[in-house]
Amino acid sequence: MGKLFGTDGVRGKANQYPITPEMAVRIGRATAHLFSGFQDNNQRQTVIIGRDTRISGSMLELALASGICSMGMDATFAGVLPTPGIAYLAASSGANAGIVISASHNPFFDNGIKIFNNKGFKLSDEQENRIEELVLDENNAKRSESIQHTGRVIQMKNPVQLYLDFLKQGLPVHFSLKGMKIVIDCANGATFQVAEKIFRELGAELVVLFSDPDGININHGCGSQHPEVLAKTVLEKDADIGLAFDGDGDRLIAVDEKGFVATGDQILGACAVSMKKKGILTNNILVTTIMSNIGLGVALETHGIDHVKANVGDRYVMEEMIQHGAVIGGEDSGHMIYLDQHTTGDGILAALRLILCMKQENRSLSELLSVVSVFPQKLINVDVKGKPEISSLPDIVRVIETAEKDLGKKGRVLVRYSGTQPMCRVMVEGPTAEITQKHCEKIADIVKEVLG
């Protein structure tokens, strides 16, 4: 067995290593072992399990529960719920930990397992390494053989309503969406119940897209990765805003009233500037990743906001936020963290906070987003057979250096491996779309030759 954890949990094709029932039992057992004793001994020990709408979710849910119960700990099923909902429930219910079964924005045939501690935070590298050790340790399985009082499977009561109530807690008293027309795209995923419910309860005139999951249509031509239908519908319905979530509900991509698809960088920048105006941008900091567009950095400098860049992955954004005392951070991909309210990225929460900024400034979304001018950017994903250090590959290093020399201070190049897929991501930003495209394609071609 190789390394299990990538940048966001354990990920792979369902029913193939490491996303098999056998491995899920081991991971459940290891999680229970790691987090046992974190709560009062007089209280039943439990791990909350939630999932998205993938057809393989039930299979993995039952396998994880078997592993947890074999260690004498209860497994509490929350059913289909966004990833941030499980993080909240793990922190608020007295559970020992929370597990989410999801492959986020990936196709239905993928799945994954990510774990939250009893405070609602994703695991540290050290904790992930410890779980890997326990999964590989045959003696850990033998420990369960002496346990006579095995755990039970419990169905959680009203998890959707509990999460919905939490989302509303961060809004001002009497906050209302009456008079707003909103289009939401639920990606046939985990937000399909909560998102529609909360926006209707807040009074919005709502148009709902892709909210009929069948196990295999999650993220298919919809959601945060495919906002084309959402943008078209916003224009057709003359809506104020469009909101696209990904399969597990921890990402947001927004569409303005003109049908323009906003990036995570633009949303983060606009909200940070708005928060500074209101005096609630703690420590005057926005945390993003090294993938952030140059235009965001320019906008933040213009408005006197400090910009901290983390490694790719919302886990690393969170680490920098905690270290610097920031309350807002995220990724261009749509992960947005509001640490003054939640412990992880939350697409629905980010949508509500974005609309709150619009209402407080009495501006349309296009006006709000205008503070960030995005530099032309091109991203090409190249399938690879292996992931050797980029710096050890002379042909790739050479073409990168040539591009960087040509771009100078008017652009940048970033070549990195995906943490969740066998892929190398080639990203180039430049002064014009033509120059950006040219350099990105040249680098991607060499990457394909060397690693494809």
Residues 106-129 have pLDDT tens digits of 999 999 999 999 999 999 889 999
pLDDT confidence of residue 266: 96
Distance CA 180, CA 177 (A): 6
Beta carbons of 342 and 88 less than 8 angstroms apart: yes
Catalytic residue annotation:
104
Q: Can you list the alpha helix ranges (DSSP code H) found in 137-283?
A: 138-143, 159-169, 194-201, 228-236, 264-278
Q: How far is CA 88 from CA 96, 324, 349, in A?
A: 12, 23, 12
Which domains occur in the chain, in start order? Answer: 5-157 (3.40.120.10), 163-240 (3.40.120.10), 262-369 (3.40.120.10), 377-451 (3.30.310.50)
pLDDT confidence of residue 233: 98
pLDDT confidence of residue 41: 54
Longest dimension (CA), the chain: 68
Q: Which residues in the chain come in under a pLDDT of 70?
A: 1-2, 38-43, 141
pLDDT confidence of residue 143: 73
pLDDT confidence of residue 136: 86
pLDDT confidence of residue 42: 58
Strand 153-155, strand 74-80: pairing: parallel
**How many CB atoms lie under 10 A from the CB of residue 255?**
25
Q: Which of 348, 421, 318, 380 is nearest to 105 (CA)?
A: 421
